[in-house]
């Protein structure tokens, strides 16, 4: 090859580090004792701020306040909106006082579609309707007040709006017994026993959180018995992952195996919940030999695990094992969430190196470009990442509760406040569900890997910018020639579907894009027969012109039902005729069965 060809340049020659995703400093070095002192102090502070950088917060508020202070036109606009909202409230209040008109007419303000705090019918009756509408009017005004101003950093505007929303949620009338009709009704009905039960729940939760003791699995939701119970064997294990091979459920199977790469941010059994809604169990039933990676739950001793470790000793080691157990067959690879991101990195590296072992690639709610990564970007800037790095440097990993708190904050109305009202004021116990049990079973993330992920992908977006290097050489997604099946979910706030759709911008292979209803997890766990499910599907041929996501959405009508059969048909068309199932593991080639599924790593707390 011509050494001047830009596609053959090394990352070092292009002025970039030769690491896969270079990160900020993650090690304390004795040469910088003062720096280590600073990092230790910031790490200690991070424990009190839940990992949120005070500087990033102050910068957003200051940016907004200064730009608003020198924008008299916006100030007049806000004054006009305040007057308009006040007029609407007074009109609504007057109308509600007219006998027979208390529930007539549409209220001037409505909660967001995902806000279920005001669903009780009594919120439509005075005085509760006035309190509700007053809160929503204030929410509307502050949302408008935090709209981006000319010259203001757009991320600071979004962060200010997000923080204002969090502050407003603390004073919602739904949070207080005397202003919430549902709480008042239940208090009268039970003679206050709901508040006693709620106090008991609050005390129990406080003790559990203070002792940092994980809650026991609810009866009927035990991992390995009721969840993650598809029969199989662990056929490979290293320090970073276990590889599970699932037992065949049909007399014959397609010769091409399926390898599933879940996200390391979660336990893999989101794809193997209860038998009726387990994607893995269903796929095995369609006549496939299915393998799945189960990541370890890292400890402080594993703080130096890198993103490259997850690619090489995770994805690539699993692929080597699959190809040994099922020799001479190409593999259908499937990555979910961040598992799809690391799979795309592995696939692009394989394409660059002439490795053609992949028959197809499926991405489930997985991003390859992070420029429009949704509200998670509110937590990512240089100050915030450095602050998190110092906290991880101090403890060796990102604690599961610290990451889970960020996800809950994105939907605080339901995941924090509505739950608190139900549990502490209505005195209701959380009703267990398989997805709820999985959601509470979070994992830690090693310090170095998470730092590399945040910097290289989220902060600097290197993968699609042509600046992501593996083993010293830049990779490109457009080198991938294997056909792709890409799934986005309509209401995803973790991997927004328009961001997932951008895979089309950076690849040129045959692609089927599916947009399914529901959110990040519910849209993927969408088994046949699940009520109120639909999807859209489109096909992009190699070399076709790009179609923007909104145009694509307008041109593809929804189809009722689950997208799973659509995926199965797509896989069938790219698979050989069914044949005898392969053996479980390959004892003669270093892959003997090590124990029954779901293995040991999924049980780590």
Q: What residues are annotated to the active site?
A: 337
Which residues face 515 on adjacent strands?
A: 488, 536
Separation CA 540–CA 486 (nearest Å): 11
User: Rounded to a whole number, what is the distance in angstroms from the first to the last CA of the chain?
Assistant: 50
| Separation CA 234–CA 599 (nearest Å) | 6
Please, which residues bridge with residue 591 across strands? 586
Residue pair 519/491 in contact (Cβ under 8 Å)? The answer is yes
Evaluate whether 343 touches 307 at the Cβ level (below 8 Å): no
d(CA 482, CA 502): 17
Look up residue 424 and give its DSSP letter.
I
Q: Which helix (H) or strand (E) holds 362?
A: strand 358-364
Classify burial at 71, counting beta carbons within 10 Å of its beta carbon; exposed 0-12, middle 13-18, buried 19 or more: middle
- Which pair of tokens denotes residue 17? 């580090």
In three-state form (DSSP H/G/I as H, E/B as E, the rest C), the secondary structure along 312-326 is HHHHHHHHHHHHHHC
What whole-number distance in Å separates Cα of residue 107 and Cα of residue 137?
11
| Cα dihedral value 312, 313, 314, 320, nearest 10 | 80
Under DSSP, the state recorded for 287 is: T
The β-bridge partners of 243 are 236, 293
Interatomic CA distance for residues 294 and 263, integer angstroms = 9
Find, among 597, 579, 592, the residue nearest to 328 by Cα: 579
- In degrees rounded to 5, what are phi and psi of residue 234? -75, 120
Phi, psi of 65 (to 5 degrees): -65, -40
506's tokens: 């950076």
**What order of strands is seen across the sheet that includes strand 511-516?**
559-560, 534-540, 511-516, 484-489, 358-364, 331-336, 258-261, 290-295, 241-246, 232-237, 595-596
Determine what percent of the chain falls in helix, strand and coil, rounding each to the nearest 5.
45, 10, 40
Place of tokens 């209701």: 428
Measured distance CA(6)–CA(10) in Å, rounded = 9
Lookup result for tokens 């910088």: 32
């Amino acid at each position: 090859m011509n050494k001047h060809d830009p596609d053959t340049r090394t990352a070092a020659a292009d002025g970039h580090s030769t690491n896969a995703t270079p990160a900020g400093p993650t090690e304390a070095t004795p040469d910088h004792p003062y720096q280590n002192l600073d990092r230790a102090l910031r790490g200690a502070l991070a424990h009190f701020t839940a990992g949120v950088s005070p500087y990033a917060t102050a910068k957003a508020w200051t940016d907004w306040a200064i730009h608003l202070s020198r924008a008299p036109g916006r100030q007049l606009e806000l004054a006009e909106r305040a007057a308009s909202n006040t007029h609407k409230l007074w009109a609504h209040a007057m109308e509600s006082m007219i006998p027979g008109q208390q529930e007539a007419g549409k209220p001037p303000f409505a909660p967001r579609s995902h806000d279920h705090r005001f669903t009780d019918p009594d919120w439509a009756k005075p005085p509760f309707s006035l309190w509700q509408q007053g809160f929503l009017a204030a929410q509307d005004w502050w949302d408008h007040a935090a709209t981006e101003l000319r010259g203001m950093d757009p991320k600071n505007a979004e962060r200010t709006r997000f923080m204002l929303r969090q502050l407003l949620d603390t004073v919602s009338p739904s949070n207080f017994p005397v202003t919430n009709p549902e709480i008042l009704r239940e208090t009268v009905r039970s003679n206050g026993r709901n508040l006693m039960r709620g106090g008991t729940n609050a005390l129990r939760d406080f003790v559990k959180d203070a002792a940092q003791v994980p809650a026991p699995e609810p009866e009927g939701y035990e991992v390995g018995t009721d969840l993650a119970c598809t029969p199989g064997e662990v056929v490979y294990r290293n320090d970073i992952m276990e590889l599970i091979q699932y037992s065949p459920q049909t007399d014959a199977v397609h010769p091409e195996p399926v390898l599933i790469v879940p996200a390391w941010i979660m336990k893999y059994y989101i794809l193997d919940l209860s038998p009726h809604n387990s994607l893995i169990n269903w796929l095995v039933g369609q006549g496939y030999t299915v393998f799945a990676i189960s990541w370890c739950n890292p400890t402080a001793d594993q703080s130096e695990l890198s993103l490259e470790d997850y690619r090489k000793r995770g994805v690539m080691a699993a692929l080597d094992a699959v190809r040994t157990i099922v020799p001479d067959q190409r593999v259908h690879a499937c990555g979910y969430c961040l598992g799809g991101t690391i799979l795309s990195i592995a696939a692009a590296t394989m394409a660059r190196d002439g490795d053609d072992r992949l028959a197809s690639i499926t991405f489930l709610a997985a991003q390859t470009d992070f420029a429009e990564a949704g509200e998670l970007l509110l937590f990512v800037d240089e100050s915030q990442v450095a602050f998190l790095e110092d906290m991880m440097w101090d403890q060796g990993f990102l604690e599961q509760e610290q990451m889970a708190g960020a996800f809950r904050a994105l939907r605080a109305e339901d995941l924090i406040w509505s739950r608190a009202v139900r549990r502490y004021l209505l005195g209701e116990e959380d009703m267990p569900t398989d997805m709820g049990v999985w959601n509470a079973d979070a994992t830690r993330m090693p310090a170095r890997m998470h730092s590399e992920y945040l910097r290289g992908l989220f902060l600097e977006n290197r993968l699609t910018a042509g600046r992501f290097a593996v083993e010293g050489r830049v990779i490109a997604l457009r080198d991938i020639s294997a056909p792709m099946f890409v799934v986005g979910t309509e209401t995803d706030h973790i991997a927004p579907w328009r961001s997932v759709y951008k895979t089309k911008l950076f690849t040129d292979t045959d692609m089927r894009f599916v947009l399914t209803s529901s959110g990040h997890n519910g849209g993927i766990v969408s088994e046949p027969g699940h009520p109120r499910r639909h999807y859209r599907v489109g096909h992009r041929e190699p070399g076709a012109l790009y179609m923007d996501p909104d145009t694509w959405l307008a041109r593809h009508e929804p189809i009722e039902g689950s997208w799973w059969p659509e995926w199965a048909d797509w896989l069938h068309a790219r698979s050989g005729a069914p044949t005898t199932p392969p053996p479980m593991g390959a004892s003669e080639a270093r892959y003997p069965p090590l124990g029954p599924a779901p293995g040991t790593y999924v049980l780590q707390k």
